[in-house]
Chain A
Amino acid sequence: MWDYSDKVREHFFNPRNSGPLTDANGIGDVGSIKCGDALRLMLKVNPESEIIEDAHFQTFGCGSAIASSSALTEMIKSKTLDQALQVSNQDIADYLDGLPPEKMHCSVMGREALHAAVANYRGEAWQDDHEEGDLVCKCFAIDAVMIEETIRGNHLKTMADVTNYTKAGGGCSACHEKIEDILIAVNGRLYSSDAPQKGKTAPVESPVKPKLTNYQRIRKIEETLEAIRPMLQRDHGDVTLVEVDGKKIYVALSGACQGCQMESATLGGIQQKLIEALGELLQVLPVGALATG
């Protein structure tokens, strides 16, 4: 259960000014039924003085949505419209002795309902200028929209960049995958947090494996074998690529690998690495198999 302040609980259990206001002359309906929070704020404004003489709410939403609505009506009553519009969502949260970060949107909804109701009273169109994404970093309360905009605006490439610019990800590390997903969505791929090596910008494994051309595929096979070679060389062996025939990859084992009892195990290991690197099923065979057809 949420760690609600006593004030939130109190306003939830005993909401002020709830229910319809029959002679309202300014009404604001905001929120999202999908997200399970929606609020109708009703104002009775004195046309002479522009003082809010009464304010009521009806809310479909969680405990803190109801408490925020109740708090808002208390805060704006007997204020002038202009004074009321000064109320920020933080003011609403402060009035309630704070809201959990995941529930701050309830106070935002309150402020928006106020703006919508005032616009309605004044006969203006109210524009929803608020954009809120999923909360990504809970340590520092940074949402997805904020992270995405910061990445775009500053051409950020790595997880570390995002933390430096937004603080997101600088705490418990739980959101690193989500932040990386946003980086991939914006940049098309994920850059390693290490400084790029000279001569090549090494992307850390793109999540979507594009179909390779024959040339790219053979290069990839070569790169993978290159990575395996040091291990074999440690055991005084080696491997070279001889032929690529569709799904059949022919290699020559040399040095200590040649004729080793572990030869088939070694080939199996190479095969596994290649399958992982290319994301396709293939077979690694010794060069002898090529000769005998």
Chain B
Amino acid sequence: MMTPIYMDNNATTACDPAVVEAMLPFFTEQFGNASSIHSFGEQVGKALKEARGRVQNLLGAAHDSEIVFTSCGTESDSTAILSALKANPERRTIITTVVEHPAILTLCDYLEKEGVVVQRLRVDKRGRIDLDEYKSLLSERVALVSAMWANNETGTLFPVEEMAEMAHEKGIPFHTDAVQAVGKVPIDLKSTRIDMLSCSGHKLHAPKGIGVLYLRRNTRFRPLLRGGHQERGRRAGTENSASIVGLGVACELAQQHMETENTTVKALRDRLQRGILAKVNNAFVNGDTVHRLPNTASIAFEYVEGEGILLLLNKQGIAASSGSACTSGSLEPSHVMRAMGIPYTAAHGTIRFSLSRYNTEEEVDRVIAAVPPIIAQLRKLSPYWSVDGPVESPERAFKPAYA
């Protein structure tokens, strides 16, 4: 088998070797508890402080005390939303969007059952929200606005800085799930009105199991986990020191590679997208191609289903992911594709390629060569497909009985 090609970096990334190296001592000689007075603890405490500073730098936070380490992006999201509701009990409305990650949407669905009003901004065909609609929803009943910085499936960027400004004018706290954006697009929180931001280590070449909640100074806050005084009592529980140190290094590397990400990685992504679309008909890019993460290309291949594409790619050592949720046990296409009104016959055939600075031009060219025959092979099996194009009026030619 050929060397594997990893193009699923929005799912998770490989730990950078420098990150792993920095972490290792914290599993052995640097095992102390940062809270301890003795020298074992003291050294760990210093390492955590250094890591906190590195995260602060990448996020452009004004103070390192605004960085709260958590266990993952989901915990940061839950903390932000539940805190806002708890700290503003007279406000029972949350504004979010229909295309958020399940870390936000599932929690909102649950809160809705508890009586919280959830307003979900819709998106257009390109995955963009309507700022006028957003503006009309801002009221004194709103406890929090939570909108993602970048969409995990399409890479579409929301104008969160502008949205935060608008929320601030109405006195509404603003949270952004920036799990996909941190490390891929420049962020300078101190020059924004964003009050809370979620970030996850494993999306930027740090390990899994470490996340960050940025909490702007003077934001009303209630902790999710109560207990010890770690993270100034804002997130109790002994610090995951090895992972925090690893995240610190990863943030520093991300900052160093920020330009690479937006030039080299972007060029690779564009090459991949162009190369595939030039060879495969009835295929198109999903999302807002103007305001988009530099590493992500979500491509819909009409009249075939994504899982088959992934299985055949996997056979050639190529890792990507599907826009259809069939791979995760549910049968409906992804909520993001549905929200954009992508037809079922295209939504089910959507593949997300998400690159990183470790990808090469040679890999991109191998993927460009691999994809067209795979799509052709599956289309040959498809009831919607004739020899070299869809059958005439496909939706009428094949109308399966609903089962």
Contact = CB atoms under 8 A, between A and B. Distances in A.
B395 to A, nearest CB: 8
Contacts of B344: 33-34, 36
Interface in B369-403: 380-384, 398-403
A15 B308 contact: no
A37 B331 contact: yes
A112 interface: yes
A20 to B, nearest CB: 9
Contact of B400 (A32, A209, A281): A32
Given A63-B307, A66-B308, A209-B115, A38 B332 contact: no
Interface of A: 1-2, 9, 12-13, 15, 18-19, 29-40, 57-63, 65-66, 102, 105, 108-109, 112, 116, 126, 128, 130, 132, 134-135, 138, 207, 209, 272, 275, 279, 281
Given A1-B314, A116-B401, A128-B401, A60 B324 contact: no
Contacts of A279: 115
Contacts of A57: 381
Given A36-B344, A37-B331, A275-B89, A61 B402 contact: no
- 9 closest pairs, A vs B, by CB? A62-B307, A58-B383, A35-B331, A36-B348, A38-B400, A31-B400, A40-B383, A29-B400, A33-B344
A38 B380 contact: no
Interface in B269-326: 303-308, 310-312, 314-315, 324, 326
Contacts of A37: 305, 326, 331
A62 B304 CA distance: 9
B106 to A, nearest CB: 11
A40 B382 CA distance: 9
Contacts of A207: 113-114
A38 B344 CA distance: 12
A66 B401 contact: no
A109 B403 CA distance: 7
B305 A30 contact: no
Nearest to A177: B110
25 contacts: A1-B314, A19-B380, A30-B400, A30-B403, A31-B400, A33-B348, A34-B331, A57-B381, A58-B383, A59-B382, A60-B304, A60-B305, A60-B348, A60-B382, A62-B326, A62-B327, A63-B311, A102-B329, A109-B403, A128-B402, A128-B403, A130-B403, A134-B330, A275-B89, A281-B89
A32 B333 CA distance: 12
A40 B115 contact: no
Contacts of A135: 329
Contacts of A128: 401-403
A13 B303 contact: no
A188 to B, nearest CB: 15
Nearest to A272: B89
Contacts of B365: none
A250 B402 CA distance: 60
A15 B381 contact: yes
B90 interface: yes
A268 B314 CA distance: 59
Nearest to A184: B113
B381 A18 contact: yes
B139 to A, nearest CB: 15
B376 to A, nearest CB: 13
A30 B89 contact: no
